[in-house]
Amino acid sequence: MADRPRSRQIVDAARELLETEGADALTMRRIADRLGIRAPSLYKHFPDKQAVEAELIAQGLAEMADAQEAAVAAEPGQPLVALGAAYREYALAHPHLYRLMTAGPLPRHLLPDGLEARAALPLVKAVPDEHRARAVWAFAHGMVILELDGRFPPDADLDPAWRVGMATFST
């Protein structure tokens, strides 16, 4: 949907609000204010806030896929280590978007066809067993959320924990 110029502007404004202020700032009124238009004008381009959020999630999934594909290409001998590092780096660089992407049910019906599969493909290639791949994703997600929430001691060196965790799944 964000292929028209005004739709792209709306998604860009929403992304800026999300990245700087978090998901609570994502209201149609705040997005409209950022664009200098009235909130009802947004509904000409998006039926509701969920549709705007789905565009943001789609951006995030595509960016995450790009980052993971690049990481595996750079370190083909250690794909899980590369994937873990890219996943963590992306999530920490975009914590509010990451939370939007991973909290609650995924609005699959609003995402571009094939995007979810593309986002999962680097992990699926590295770990063909679907149960093991889900376990790897759960480990990575759990580590990221704990780090984002400040649940580790301030002096904790998490790099070794990531390496050990990913290496455990590599065996």
The pLDDT score that the predictor gives to residue 171 is 66
> Tens place of pLDDT for every residue, the chain, 171 residues?
566 888 999 999 999 999 999 999 999 999 999 999 999 899 999 999 999 999 999 999 999 999 999 999 998 888 999 999 999 999 999 999 999 999 999 999 999 999 999 999 999 999 999 999 999 999 999 999 999 999 999 999 999 999 899 988 886
The pLDDT score that the predictor gives to residue 169 is 87
Return the ∠ at Cα 158 (arms to 152 and 163), rounded to 5°. 140
Q: CA-CA distance, 153 to 159, in Å (whole number)?
A: 14
Q: Which residues contact 6 (CB under 8 A, 6 or more apart)?
A: 44, 45
Task: For each of the domains in the chain, give its residue range(s) and CATH number, in order of start.
Answer: 1-47 (1.10.10.60), 57-170 (1.10.357.10)
Q: CA-CA distance, 17 to 4, in Å (whole number)?
A: 20
What are the start-end ranges of the E strands in the chain? none
**Token pair 């404004």 in the structure block, residue:** 13
Q: What is the pTM of this model?
A: 0.92
